[in-house]
């Protein structure tokens, strides 16, 4: 994954961002055509596998427990219901499933084992699997990689300087560490930002500079426009103009020619013409489905119509990288072995008790 050496300083990136809009779009479209098929746009689905109740304080997020929003907290979905949702998403044209859990960090518990099984199952359906689960260590990243995870999403959100204005419960460096852990495990990185949170243009460029400074920039860079949700600290932020979204997409495309730039949250505030300019400027992925975790998104049918009008075609899974191989997870195998052993012991004890004339108590193995 290479960066564009012409724009590897903050000054040059700022100059690029501020170019006359159509010049900027033309330059981005030209670069996009050198590295990507301009008709292909990936349809991805974002599924909230564990919603709300998050201890973090991200100022834009309705899932933070401390804000009074309409989001209802739900525990982790079952593996079976995730498979069902993945099948629906695939049938509707999505080639990538991103599963999001509102956790501060991954914990080594049964919930994580279940996520591992979800990743294994969806990878076996020939869909790219991406997860966004909060902070994770190297060992957890390795387990996800072995399960068949294609990408790990962990957004930097904005520049290092502005980050503290929006989030106080963890540091920018914590985010960078998690990205590094995904990288070390051989998982591709999906990391991007949100514009419209009250940041300066310098912060938008500062976000891109953070990726410029990485040894390997993200393979996937989602660009979101803030969807201001009632009850969050950013509820009164005015929506940004769609021109700003186009500018950010184009600048990102030029700076990172090989990465996939994803037009993500905020599409409900854009018209089709605005989105078309984003595709022209190098966006080659959208999130499909009427929900992005918990925020509204255009319906499948509207997107299908847009693809027809603009002559876009859905990008197939693994067009940008090989399908990961799923390797059986040792920890899950061992846990299941212990559970089976315990259940066998209980069954034996129960039958001995019966033989001895006792009516044993009912015991449930969890
Ligand atoms: S963005 Fe993620 S980490 Fe931040 S509050 Fe929302 S769910 Fe929690």
Question: Residues 66-75: pLDDT tens digits?
Answer: 999 988 889 9
Tell me, using a 6 A CB cutoff, whether residue 49 lines ligand 1. Answer: no
Q: Which long-range contacts (CB under 8 A, 24 or more apart) does 29-36 make?
A: 29/280, 29/281, 29/282, 31/4, 31/253, 31/254, 31/257, 31/282, 32/253, 32/257, 32/281, 32/282, 32/284, 34/257, 35/257, 35/258, 36/260, 36/282, 36/284
Q: Cα angle vertex 190, ends 265, 300, to 5°?
A: 40
Tell me, using a 6 A CB cutoff, whether residue 264 lines ligand 1. Answer: no
* Segment 280-301, tens digit of pLDDT: 999 999 988 666 566 666 677 8
* Segment 184-193, tens digit of pLDDT: 999 999 999 9
Q: How confident is the model at residue 117 (pLDDT cuts 50, 70, 90)?
A: very high
Tell me, using a 6 A CB cutoff, whether residue 229 lines ligand 1. Answer: no
Buried b (16+ CB within 10 A) or exposed e, 95-109: bbbbbbbbbeebeee
Tell me, using a 6 A CB cutoff, whether residue 54 lines ligand 1. Answer: yes
- As a whole number of angstroms, the distance between CA 106 and CA 50 comes to 12
Residue found under tokens 């067009």: 319
pLDDT attached to residue 266: 85
- Closest atom of ligand 1 relative to the 132 alpha carbon: 2
H or E element that contains 295: strand 295-296
What does the DSSP assignment read for 220-277?
EEEEEE----TTSTTTTPPPPPHHHHHHHHHHHHHHSTTSEEEE-TTGGGS-HHHHHH
What average pLDDT does the segment 288-315 reach? Answer: 80
Tell me, using a 6 A CB cutoff, whether residue 224 lines ligand 1. Answer: no
Q: How confident is the model at residue 118 (pLDDT cuts 50, 70, 90)?
A: very high
Model pTM score: 0.91
- Closest atom of ligand 1 relative to the 102 alpha carbon: 7
Closest residue by Cα to atom 7, ligand 1, is 102
Ligand 1 centroid – CA 294 distance (Å): 11
pLDDT attached to residue 206: 97
CB 83 within 8 A of CB 99: no
H or E element that contains 287: strand 283-288
Closest by CA position to 266, among listed 230, 300, 229: 229
Known catalytic residues are 54, 58, 61, 98, 130, 190, 262
H or E element that contains 302: helix 300-310
What average pLDDT does the segment 311-316 reach? Answer: 95
pLDDT attached to residue 167: 93
- What are the residues whose beta carbons fall under 8 Å from the beta carbon of 157, sequence distance 6 or more? 58, 163, 166, 167, 193, 194, 197, 207
- Closest atom of ligand 1 relative to the 61 alpha carbon: 6
* CA 169 to each of CA 87, 198, 210, 237: distance values in angstroms, whole numbers, following the listed order: 36, 19, 20, 21
* CA 313 to each of CA 129, 285, 362: distance values in angstroms, whole numbers, following the listed order: 20, 11, 57
pLDDT attached to residue 295: 65
- As a whole number of angstroms, the distance between CA 188 and CA 221 comes to 11
* CA 361 to each of CA 338, 355, 357, 358, 364: distance values in angstroms, whole numbers, following the listed order: 22, 14, 13, 9, 10
Closest residue by Cα to atom 2, ligand 1, is 102
Which 3 state secondary structure label does DSSP give 51?
Answer: strand
pLDDT attached to residue 292: 59
* Segment 152-186, tens digit of pLDDT: 999 999 999 999 999 999 999 999 999 999 999 99
pLDDT attached to residue 168: 93
* Segment 226-252, tens digit of pLDDT: 999 999 999 999 999 999 999 999 999
Ligand 1 centroid – CA 64 distance (Å): 6
pLDDT attached to residue 327: 93
Question: How crowded is residue 176: how many other Cβ atoms within 10 Å of its Cβ?
Answer: 17
CB 118 within 8 A of CB 80: no
Tell me the β-bridge partners of 74.
51
- As a whole number of angstroms, the distance between CA 96 and CA 42 comes to 8
pLDDT attached to residue 26: 98
- Closest atom of ligand 1 relative to the 64 alpha carbon: 5
| 366 pLDDT higher than 60 | no
Ligand 1 centroid – CA 137 distance (Å): 18
Tokens of 228: 């201001």
Average pLDDT, the chain: 93
* Segment 85-98, tens digit of pLDDT: 999 999 988 999 99
Q: How confident is the model at residue 363 (pLDDT cuts 50, 70, 90)?
A: low
Tokens of 15: 């100059």
pLDDT attached to residue 296: 64
pLDDT attached to residue 350: 86
pLDDT attached to residue 293: 62
- What are the residues whose beta carbons fall under 8 Å from the beta carbon of 36, sequence distance 6 or more? 260, 282, 284
């Amino acid at each position: 994954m290479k960066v564009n050496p012409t724009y590897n300083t903050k000054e040059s990136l700022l100059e690029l961002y501020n170019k006359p809009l159509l010049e900027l779009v033309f330059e981005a479209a030209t670069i996009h055509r050198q590295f990507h098929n301009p008709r292909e746009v990936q349809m991805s689905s974002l599924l909230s596998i564990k919603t709300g109740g998050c201890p973090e304080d991200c100022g834009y997020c309705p899932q933070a427990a401390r804000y009074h929003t309409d989001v209802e907290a739900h525990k982790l979905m079952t593996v079976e219901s995730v498979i069902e949702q993945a099948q629906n998403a695939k049938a509707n044209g999505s080639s990538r499933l991103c599963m999001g859990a509102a956790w501060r960090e991954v914990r080594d518990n049964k919930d994580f084992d279940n996520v591992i099984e979800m990743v294994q199952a969806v990878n076996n359906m020939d869909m790219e699997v991406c997860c966004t689960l909060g902070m994770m260590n190297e060992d957890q990243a390795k387990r996800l990689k072995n399960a068949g995870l294609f990408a790990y999403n962990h957004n930097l959100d904005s520049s290092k300087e502005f980050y503290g204005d929006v989030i106080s419960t963890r540091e920018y460096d914590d985010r960078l560490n998690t990205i590094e852990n995904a990288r070390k495990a051989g998982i591709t990185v999906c990391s991007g930002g949100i514009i419209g949170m009250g940041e300066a243009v310098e912060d938008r460029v500062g976000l891109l500079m953070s990726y410029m400074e990485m040894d390997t920039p993200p393979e996937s860079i989602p660009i979101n426009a803030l969807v201001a949700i009632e009850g969050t600290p950013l509820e009164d932020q005015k929506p940004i103009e769609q021109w700003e979204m186009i500018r950010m997409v184009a600048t990102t495309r030029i700076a990172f020619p090989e990465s996939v730039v994803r037009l993500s949250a905020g599409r409900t505030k854009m018209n089709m013409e605005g989105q078309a300019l984003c595709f022209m400027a190098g966006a080659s992925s959208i999130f499909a489905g009427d929900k992005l975790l918990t925020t509204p998104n255009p319906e499948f049918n509207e997107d299908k119509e847009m693809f027809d009008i603009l002559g876009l075609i859905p990008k197939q899974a693994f067009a940008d990288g090989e399908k990961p191989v799923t390797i059986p997870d040792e920890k899950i195998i061992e846990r299941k072995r212990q559970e089976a052993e315990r259940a066998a012991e209980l069954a034996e004890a129960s039958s001995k008790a019966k033989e001895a004339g006792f009516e044993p108590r009912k015991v449930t193995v969890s």
